[in-house]
Amino acid sequence: MALYRSKKIKSGLIFVVAAILMTLLYPSKLKFKYDYSIGQPWRYEGVLTAPYSFPIYKSEAQKVQERDSIERTKISYYTQNATVKISEKNQISKDFMERKLSPEVTSDYIQYIHKVLDEIYDRGILPNDAYDLLSSQENGYIFVVDDRNVAVRRDTSEIFNARRAYDYAIHEAPAHLKRHVLQQVSLEQYLISNLDLDLAKTNQMQSARLATVTDVVGNVQKGERIVGTGDMVTPEIYQVLEGYRTAFEHASTTSTERVALVMGQFFLILFLFLMLFCYLLAFREELLKQIKNTLFLVLNVSLLVALTYVLVPIEPAVTYMIPFSIVAIQVRVFIDSRTAAITHLVTVLLAALVVPSPLQFVVIQLIAGQIVLVTLRNLSQRSDLFRTSFATLFGMIISYYAMLIAGQGLPESIDWNTLFYLVINFIFLTFAYLMVYGIERLFGYVSSISLVELADINKPLLRQLSEVAPGTFQHSLNVSTLASEAIGEIGGDVRLVRSGALYHDIGKMKNPTYFTENQGANNPHDRLSYDQSARIIIKHVTDGIEMAEKAKLPKPIIDFIRTHHGLGMTKYFYIKYKNENPDAVIDESIFHYPGPNPWTKEQGVMMLADAVEASSRSLKEITEQVLIDHVNKIVDGIMADGYLKNTPLTFRDIETTKYIFIDKLRNMYHSRIDYPELRRSPNATEEQKQGEDSGQ
């Protein structure tokens, strides 16, 4: 009892240490106490006012849109080449003096052309492609940097390209100048771009414009109303609430406040862990007898919660990618459904402390956990896990969209990101099949998958047993049948007891002929003393343990080998020795098995099945009453010797087990039909008789 109390204390300390570690991993930012979404009414009582002034931040979409707008309306900077105007004016004067122009072109025309070229070149001529690009922009403009390094804005309407400049020069000519004469001048050859793109300046100013994009769109003053009960959360109110949340999470705290915050987090996490511990104390006290069970449960909870605490502050959407249902799968496979349900619940509640939309998260994850417990009755093959994983994925998708529609109505589009994370969750669940083997090695558990594999009679040890000791092999098969039928009726692990029964006597392979079921006409015990015979018989237990450990059988299977005789006695040899040496002082330990006695329901039933099946072989007559008396005698004798006092078997379990044994033995030893002999005619020839005898 003192040892058990010590283990309970150690288990409690494991939970406390886990709570401390989870507190250290808990996100350092303060958690905002309000939950809200666009299009939903504000469900909190009263009016929320700003407790302090804080900025309103632009959403990421707003900042991206603003940057894109700046990129699309890139403003170009140009320098004006003054030499172009002078060169072209001189050229037209030269062409006039050299009479290269039409005779109709007089000095009046040249004077006008000089004037209009001054105006056009002063306003600037762009290359055609640059002008077309600028014209395509609404309210487009450029900056022209003069010789004083001053940038002057020029709208599209103020500048020219060669084509527009030509049209302008012709259209603006005085009435006394004939248009067809001006056209003969071929003005287009004197209209050359004099605006050169200053790429360095353009990029510099573009970077400066992008730098003006700030994160803040406005400010809320202390005491200003934010939202009230029943108000619809519009995009504008949502943006203000997000600003309040950001300010709240980054609010500076004193050292006293920080200590209080951490202590609050620790006790909240500790109380959730204690939910699981109190459940174990109240309903599964036997699990606390082994520290490995506590470690297994705490690690299942802690690993996923730690992963949540680390990843969610970085990317909140990753919540639905973490496979919380795997906790229910693992605990269900190695312990039971009720423990799996409470362990999964504690894991989900601990994670809900930091995830966004915690109510939605808890509902969806609890539905997923229940689907696991309903669909995963046994994990004996990969298809069982795939079926459960698909059902869990389907349930999570349906519940997610059900909550979304119930809260916001029909969504405008499918949330592909969440669907992607749920599919990743499903993929992680399918890997639970591989994790089972690692858990078996780490914690010494044995799963249904391994038990199914171990019960295959083609396994090396069982095949060797059938070849070396066929009688023992048949005995083991019968014991397996009796024990599995009984344990299935009273409640227990049928697969475990079946596998344990098949391997319980493998130690007899070392000396098979010393055991009755393998003997022929000669009995090797006739040449030995009773104490020597007892040692050989008893040694099959230690030999079996040695062989099982060498074959790396799971510990629960080895425990069946260790306990199937408990601390019992080889009564046949003891009584023989006692009768022949009535006055001798006998060391009874020579005739006792090393034990220990069984401590589980499965081990206890297997001990009874082994004793009943082995002793039933010596029955001279098989009748209903003989079987009843025999089973009662063997079972009651084991009970009276106290070999089952450490097991949780009840009197009702024992009576049910007796009934099952009697029924199965009746089937094993049922009367066979006596085939009649063919009567021969007295006149039959010798050849006919021989033919009939040979079956011809």
pLDDT the model gives residue 672: 45
pLDDT tens-digit profile of 284-324?
A: 888 888 899 999 999 999 999 999 999 888 877 788 899 99
Residues 298, 272: contact at Cβ < 8 Å? Answer: no
Task: Tell me the domain boundaries of the chain.
Answer: 70-211, 271-443, 468-668
448, pLDDT greater than 70: yes
pLDDT the model gives residue 98: 85
Can you tell me the mean pLDDT for 631-644?
A: 93
Residues 239, 55: contact at Cβ < 8 Å? Answer: no
DSSP output for 473-521: HHHHHHHHHHHHHHHHHHSS-HHHHHHHHHHTTGGGGGSGGGSGGG--S
Say how far residue 539 (Cα) sits from the centre of its chain.
47
**Dist. CA 45–CA 202, nearest whole Å:** 54
Q: Angle formed by the axes of helices 555-563 and 494-503, to 10°?
A: 60
pLDDT the model gives residue 240: 85
Question: What are phi and psi for residue 455, nearest 5 degrees?
Answer: -80, 0
More confident residue, 46 or 685: 46
pLDDT tens-digit profile of 63-99?
A: 777 788 777 777 889 998 889 989 988 998 988 888 8
- Whole-model pTM: value is 0.61
pLDDT the model gives residue 349: 96
- Looking at the chain, the whole-number percentage of residues with pLDDT higher than 70 is 92
**H/E element, 226:** strand 225-228
Cα distances from 440 to residues 304, 444, 450, 498, 598, in angstroms, run 19, 5, 9, 19, 22
Question: What are phi and psi for residue 141, nearest 5 degrees?
Answer: -160, 165
Task: State the CB neighbour count (10 A cutoff) for residue 44.
Answer: 13
Can you tell me the mean pLDDT for 395-419?
A: 78
pLDDT tier at 689, thresholds 50, 70, 90: very low
Task: State the CB neighbour count (10 A cutoff) for residue 660.
Answer: 22
Please give the angle made by the CA atoms of 82, 83 and 89, to the nearest 5 degrees. 105
Of 405, 414, 410, 399, which Cα lies nearest the Cα of 362?
399
Burial category of 255 from C-beta neighbours within 10 Å (exposed 0-12, middle 13-18, buried 19 and up)? exposed
pLDDT the model gives residue 428: 87
pLDDT the model gives residue 295: 94
Q: Can you tell me whether residue 57 is helix, strand or coil?
A: strand
pLDDT tens-digit profile of 209-259?
A: 777 777 787 888 888 888 887 788 888 888 888 888 888 777 656 677 778
More confident residue, 558 or 624: 558
Of 75, 191, 201, which Cα lies nearest the Cα of 125?
191
686, pLDDT greater than 70: no
* The one-letter amino acid at 311: L
pLDDT the model gives residue 644: 93
**Dist. CA 614–CA 515, nearest whole Å:** 11
Class of domain 468-668: mainly alpha
DSSP label of 409: -
695, pLDDT greater than 50: no
* The one-letter amino acid at 566: G
- Looking at the chain, the whole-number percentage of residues with pLDDT higher than 90 is 33
30, pLDDT greater than 70: no
Supply 287's token pair.
């699990």
pLDDT tens-digit profile of 182-214?
A: 888 888 889 999 898 888 888 888 888 777 777
**Whether the bond into 596 is cis, omega within 30 of 0:** yes
505, pLDDT greater than 60: yes
